[in-house]
Chain A
Amino acid sequence: MKIKAIKFGHAALFLLFTVSFLFYGAPAHSKNEFKLKLGAKGQTCLKCHETFNETLKNRFVHPLLKKGECIGCHVPHTSSHKSLLKADKAKLCYNCHKEVLPENVLSSHEVVVEGNCNSCHDSHGSNNKFILLKSGNELCFDCHKDKSADFRNVRFKHKSLENGKGCLNCHDPHSSAKSSSLLESRAPSLCLKCHQTNKESFAKKHMNYPVTTADCTSCHNPHGSNNRGLIFDVAHAAVTEGKCTECHQKPISLETKKKTTQLCRECHQDMVDKTFNKNRVHWPLLDKVGCVNCHDPHATKEKKLLKGSIVKVCGRCHGDTVQLQEWSIKSAKDERICEPVKKGNCIACHSPHAADNVLLIREQDVNFALCGRCHEWETHSTHPIGEKFIDIRAKNLSLTCLSCHRACGTGNNPAMLTFTTTHELCIQCHVERIK
């Protein structure tokens, strides 16, 4: 009898413990913290928020809404967050969907990091899978207009973009732990999922070079191109003509015949010699990588086989200057920004290979020869300028455009002036004005 009583006591304790654990561990809304009427749940909300009756008819509805658990995301009475949300919009979804942005990823979608899930998903319901706002590639192209143009305005389109999951055949919409650009994996392994390399035609097209371990995107545009074989629109003549042996050894390996600038010099001798005869050579041209620091040897989207837009290529090393340029455009107090700064055309003033002047400035005479290319001489100011006029702040300098303006951008100073106001600028030399 005593044993039975003990057993019963143990069972009761176990039951009590389990029940209290379940209640303690359950989400807040399951505890009926808002003391809703029995069976009320979302039905109470829908009495006023009638539009959600329509939302519930969608093919895909958020499970919480479907269950009538509006309080899974919203607080019924007051909240510090918009739409009576339980938490900040940028954090709320991650309470349940942690898996979309794991730690240690190599790339992540900006909107995911910012918590702007609503950019792609309707938080309540839609007729698209995963309650997406639009179906297929259209959703991606809404923001990625350049990629849309890549795809739509070209003669040859990458088939995988048109079939199956479209963009998502290669990209993960949230993050990737294996590659940049949200790719599921890096090239070539990603490409090899569909493209068979053991076919004779593959070897023939690649001139029998062992390209199966190379980065396919060094020649092919993965979205589309006007060239057959999706070769990027701007291709090195040696590539389009199939003259791989101009630069590479026989097709046993991908080794080049010579290293660095010496290889390019084989064909571009005049240009390289001219470059090396200047007082100042852009140092990366002389390092182990040479021309390939900025140019792609095979094919790209950009003119002159640049690895990206001018400002992007320059910004890889000169990030501090490009930051200033970007800042000048984004927060300009007035529109008077030099066109090259506006367009990120660094090479309008700097020679990218070599120059006889410091900072690789194209001309020694900044006033007439450089700024005068775009700005008509002395039309904007009556301030004396030129060799006859000495800058009293540094007596070896004469007054030039750069005495007042900074050519790469000045943040948000007016007219790219060095100082924030004209007055501040003028009193640098005209001290009597302060008195």
Chain B
Amino acid sequence: MSGLLVALLFYQLPLSEGAMKLRYVTTIYADDKGLGLKQPEGVACGGESLLIVADSGNGRLLRYSIKEGAIEVGTLVIKVDQLSYPIKTEINSGGEIYILDGKERSIVRLSPAGEFRGYLQPMGLPSPTAYIPRSFTVDRNDNIYILDILSERVLVIDPGGKYVRQIKFPREYGFFSDVTVDFRGTVLIVDVVDGKVFSGGKNSTSFSPLTSSLKEYVRFPTSLTTDDRGRIYLVDRNGGSIIILGQDGSFLSRQSGMGWKEGSLNYPAQMCINNKGEIFVADTMNSRIQIFDLVE
């Protein structure tokens, strides 16, 4: 009997997920003094209300408080000398902010208040010690995962900056552009050229393909993230869309589309999902952040 229930539950999941839609909620256009965003490329969600925006074109970060889909006044503008061109950002459980600097190709650490705390310098890296961070992410336990395109691996670093392990890239791939970790600790990387997602288990040292080529649904997936149910969201930069995959990599839905009007996307970059399930997308070429929620 219980087996039947489980089977039914699993049978019904794809049906309900197949009807998923992103519903447009609102847009962030500026800081609270009215200075407009300029080609923002990064967004990071913290808890239920914290949002950090990498306002790349203005060379700054912005910290917003979001309550009930509305943006509270009192935006914090963060501008530090050590950060010239922020292109990706993440927050850890303590509110510490990590930013990838596109110009310096280094990861900068800031306090929750936006004070410079230093560059991320992993200790005890195995040979080769040289690395180039194309992207990075922070998991629920504050471990940092660096997508190292120079030495073809993902480096796992503990919150104190010590090397934990490395996960080697697969032998055959096009180009990896982003890394994320789901709620189970599975590390996911996206091959932007071949349109494939690869996964590596919690303690694995290698990646295996999670999907075959998704080029049927996606043009140029530069970024990915997951929600609290393990669903995978790919940001299709050239297609101006969000592609939703199941935990197993199966295609569920393609949302939004290329355009200028609110709800449409124009070369989006990073996206993040907060604890309430609100979705924030750095709509880069429309110079704004768009907020959606998921309707099932």
Could you list which residues of chain A lie within 8 angstroms of chain B, going by C-beta atoms?
Answer: 260, 277-281, 283-284, 286-288, 316-321, 358-359, 391, 393-397, 403, 428
Contact at B150–A280, with CB atoms within 8 Å?
Answer: no
Contact at A394–B266, with CB atoms within 8 Å?
Answer: yes
Chain B residues in 8 Å Cβ range of A317: 174-175, 192-193
Contact at A260–B150, with CB atoms within 8 Å?
Answer: yes
Q: Please pick, from A284, A320, A321, A397, the residue contacting B260 in the complex, using a CB distance under 8 A.
A: A397
Contact at A396–B105, with CB atoms within 8 Å?
Answer: no
Contact at A394–B151, with CB atoms within 8 Å?
Answer: no
Given contacts A279-B102, A397-B286, contact A358 B260 (CB under 8 A): no
In the assembled complex, the Cα of A260 lies from the Cα of B286 at a distance in Å of 36
Chain B residues in 8 Å Cβ range of A319: 193
Chain A residues in 8 Å Cβ range of B267: 358-359
Against A, the Cβ 8 Å flags (1 = close, 0 = not) of B151-164 are: 11000000000000
Contact at B238–A320, with CB atoms within 8 Å?
Answer: yes
Of residues 63 through 87 on chain B, the ones whose CB sits less than 8 Å from some CB of chain A are 84-85, 87
In the assembled complex, the Cα of A275 lies from the Cα of B78 at a distance in Å of 27
Q: Closest Cβ of chain A: how far from B1's Cβ, in Å?
A: 49
Given contacts A320-B238, A396-B288, contact A283 B134 (CB under 8 A): yes
In the assembled complex, the Cα of A279 lies from the Cα of B29 at a distance in Å of 23
In the assembled complex, the Cα of A280 lies from the Cα of B103 at a distance in Å of 6
Chain A residues in 8 Å Cβ range of B41: 358
Chain B residues in 8 Å Cβ range of A359: 267, 285
B39 within 8 A of A: yes
In the assembled complex, the Cα of A317 lies from the Cα of B84 at a distance in Å of 28
Chain A residue with Cβ nearest B285:
A358
Chain A residues in 8 Å Cβ range of B87: 280
Give the 8 A-B residue pairs with the shortest CB-CB distance, closest first: A393-B260, A396-B287, A320-B219, A279-B85, A396-B36, A394-B286, A287-B149, A286-B132
In the assembled complex, the Cα of A391 lies from the Cα of B262 at a distance in Å of 12
Of residues 242 through 259 on chain B, the ones whose CB sits less than 8 Å from some CB of chain A are 259
In the assembled complex, the Cα of A281 lies from the Cα of B101 at a distance in Å of 11
Contact at B85–A287, with CB atoms within 8 Å?
Answer: no
Total cross-chain contacts (CB, 8 A): 82
In the assembled complex, the Cα of A287 lies from the Cα of B174 at a distance in Å of 12
Contact at B286–A396, with CB atoms within 8 Å?
Answer: yes
Contact at B36–A391, with CB atoms within 8 Å?
Answer: no
Which of A318, A320, A359 is packed against the most chain B CB atoms within 10 Å? A320
In the assembled complex, the Cα of A244 lies from the Cα of B105 at a distance in Å of 32
In the assembled complex, the Cα of A284 lies from the Cα of B215 at a distance in Å of 21
Contact at B175–A284, with CB atoms within 8 Å?
Answer: yes
Of residues 19 through 73 on chain B, the ones whose CB sits less than 8 Å from some CB of chain A are 29-30, 36-39, 41, 56-57
Taking A283-B177, A394-B261 as given, write out 11 further A-B residue pairs in contact, using a Cβ cutoff of 8 Å, ordered by the A residue number.
A279-B85, A280-B103, A287-B149, A288-B152, A317-B174, A317-B175, A318-B220, A320-B219, A320-B238, A393-B259, A396-B287
Q: Closest Cβ of chain A: how far from B15's Cβ, in Å?
A: 31
In the assembled complex, the Cα of A152 lies from the Cα of B105 at a distance in Å of 49
Chain A residues in 8 Å Cβ range of B102: 279-281
Which of B57, B134, B192 is packed against the most chain A CB atoms within 10 Å? B57
Chain B residues in 8 Å Cβ range of A286: 105, 132, 134, 149-150
Chain A residues in 8 Å Cβ range of B266: 394
Contact at A281–B219, with CB atoms within 8 Å?
Answer: no
Q: Please pick, from A281, A358, A393, the residue contacting B284 in the complex, using a CB distance under 8 A.
A: A358
Contact at A358–B149, with CB atoms within 8 Å?
Answer: no
Contact at A358–B39, with CB atoms within 8 Å?
Answer: yes
In the assembled complex, the Cα of A179 lies from the Cα of B134 at a distance in Å of 34
Contact at B149–A395, with CB atoms within 8 Å?
Answer: no
Chain A residues in 8 Å Cβ range of B220: 318, 320-321
Chain A residues in 8 Å Cβ range of B134: 283, 286
Contact at B151–A393, with CB atoms within 8 Å?
Answer: no
In the assembled complex, the Cα of A316 lies from the Cα of B37 at a distance in Å of 33
Contact at A288–B288, with CB atoms within 8 Å?
Answer: no
Chain A residue with Cβ nearest B135:
A283
Chain A residues in 8 Å Cβ range of B260: 391, 393-394, 397, 403, 428
In the assembled complex, the Cα of A321 lies from the Cα of B237 at a distance in Å of 11
